[in-house]
Amino acid sequence: MKAQESIPTTKVERSAKFVKTGFQIGGNYIKHYSKKLFNPDLDRAQLNEDNATDIYKSLSELKGSALKIAQMLSMDKNILPKSYVDKFTQSQYNAPPLSGPLIVRTFTKNFGKTPENIYDSFNLVSSNAASIGQVHQATLNGKKLAVKIQYPGVGDSISSDLKLVKPFAFRLLGMSEKELNIYIKEVEERLLEETDYELEVKRSIEFSEACSNLDHVVFPRYYPELSGKRIITMDWIDGLHLKEFLKTNPSQELRNKIGQALWDFYNFQQHELRAVHADPHPGNFMITPEENLGVIDFGCIKEMPDDFYYPFFSLISTDVINDRDKTIDAFRKLDMIHKEDTPAQIEFYYKSYREMIELFAKPYISKSFDFSKPEFFEQLYAYGEKISKMPEFKQARGVKHFIYVNRTNFGLYTILHELNATVNTDTFKPTLEKAV
């Protein structure tokens, strides 16, 4: 993949990139409808393919929040046409890397030294490049290190980027403006945290220490003295990303072992720490030669306040869902049912959300769950498809915490499905003493 010599960093440069992409998409529509004149039965597959290619190319060159949104959308498999999902999934593993001179400039700006003056060796060719930064291999005192470098201008461009992404999001997601604004505000807060590498190092140390007793989960050691606002230095973890791991045709026993480690890692955080690694895309995990799950990125953390945690987890892990009044009370606390709703609306949302919760909770209500079964995911996607067509769901419903908590849990379910893992789901249960 050709190295990228520069990144558009000013608002004007980044706006121009979006405008250009908008023109390309307009051209794709003209091309599609011209062909449709001669072939009325033509479907949108080629149009979606062309649009996905143009949007992904643009977002991958802009990097940062623009590419991060592509990454998030690729995980919401029931929202987008398949061609978008396939194309955007690339952003979970790679993006065009930065050129050597741009990397050296970033080091000089942050440390006043070049990488060669800091490490014993430093590979200017990145080992992988993603949305907010790219990773290089280095050595120091006989230790193999991973050095993560943030792309120039990423933190400064988040707010303006998200405004520029809105027209694409409108077209792709079909959300109302109010709902889209809630979504984008929450995304903006998390992204601003993700670009704060000093915060990431602090959290990475805290979370890896808190999770250190989990079986078959390993973390790199972090080096604050070799890290800064735009650079993180940590131990290099050898291993395979999920896609590469699955190509080795692992045994069912090993799939279950890695799946169990993943389930425990997420549910320990949710229920014991009340804060969770909220970026469960496969690029953030490695399967090590010792058959452990290596967690290599703590950039995105979502904290769960009591007024969200208790009503939400009481619905999925107790018999509250079998009591209509208690369920409606929980839905009100979570802003899924509004105080101005009519009795007919209350009944409609009660039934719709109860169906959703019962589906979502299936892994939680038995001692173990087989994530290889396609029926569970077909039901989830069918439900998503159904409500996406209902006018009642065009308006914003639910507290903002759902955005990342749903993303986290559906991301977890999806990785477990790709692993075809069966896991014990009763290892870390919700703690609901205060639950009403």
Of 54-63, 165-174, 402-411, the range with the highest mean pLDDT is 402-411
Place of tokens 């790219």: 134
pLDDT band at 332 (very low <50, low <70, confident <90, very high): very high
Place of tokens 């890290």: 227
Residue with the bigger pLDDT between 79 and 124: it is 124
Q: CB burial class (10 A; 0-12, 13-18, 19+) of residue 41?
A: exposed
Read off the pLDDT of each residue in 33-43 and give the average, rounded to a whole number.
53
**Is it the case that residue 82 has pLDDT exceeding 60?**
no
* The model scores a pTM over 0.85: no
Report residue 334 CA to chain centroid gap. 22
pLDDT at 1: 43
CA nearest neighbour of 412 among 314, 242, 281: 281
**Is it the case that residue 8 has pLDDT exceeding 90?**
no
pLDDT at 351: 94
Query: For residue 270, what is the DSSP state?
Result: I
Task: Express each pLDDT in 266-319 by its tens digit.
Answer: 999 999 999 988 888 788 899 999 999 999 888 778 899 999 999 999 988 778
Query: How many whole angstroms separate alpha carbon 258 and alpha carbon 250?
Result: 10
- Residue 322 has φ and ψ, to the nearest 5°, of -85, -5
Domain ranges of the chain: 240-436
Task: Express each pLDDT in 268-281 by its tens digit.
Answer: 999 999 998 888 87
- Percent of the chain predicted with pLDDT > 70: 69
The CB-side HSE value for 109 (13 A sphere, CA atoms) comes to 14
383: its two tokens: 């439900």
Read off the pLDDT of each residue in 95-100 and give the average, rounded to a whole number.
66
